[in-house]
Amino acid sequence: MRKFLLLTVLLSTHAYSYTQNNALVGVLGVQGSSIYFKINSPFLTDCRWGNIYFSNNTFFGKAAYANILAAKSSGKKLSRLDYEQVSSGEACTLTLVEVEQ
């Protein structure tokens, strides 16, 4: 019974989702297969190292990188930014990015 309860607790963990609007990209970098960035306003949660991360090995990652790079290069804001975090203090992962017109 204890093993079943532990397994249920482990499998039921979920990520918390956050949405921010009208954010300027502050820092944009690449480390290994991860891309990370910061914005010039506080995140809605305590993302590890103050960054949002995503992989450059996926179609989404490559498209997101192009969008964030375009926003940073042109000085445009990210009109919408969605990210997830499994638990407080852990890494935040990008799930959606949108650049203003």
Number of domains in the chain: 1
Is pLDDT larger for residue 9 or for residue 74?
Answer: 74
34 in a domain, yes or no? yes
78 part of a folded domain: yes
**Residue 14 pLDDT:** 75
Residue 80 clears pLDDT 60, i.e. is over it: yes
Residue at 39 is within a domain: yes
In a domain, 48, yes or no: yes
Q: Judge whether residue 8 has pLDDT over 80.
A: no
* Rounded distance between C-alpha atoms, residue 91 and residue 85, angstroms: 6
pTM over 0.85: no
pLDDT score for 2: 52
What would the DSSP string read from start to end of 12-58? T---EEEEE-SB-EEEEEEETTEEEEEESS--SS--GGG-EEEESSS
Q: 28 lies in which domain range?
A: 15-99
In a domain, 5, yes or no: no
Q: What is the mean pLDDT of residues 20-25?
A: 97
pLDDT at residue 6 tops 60 = no
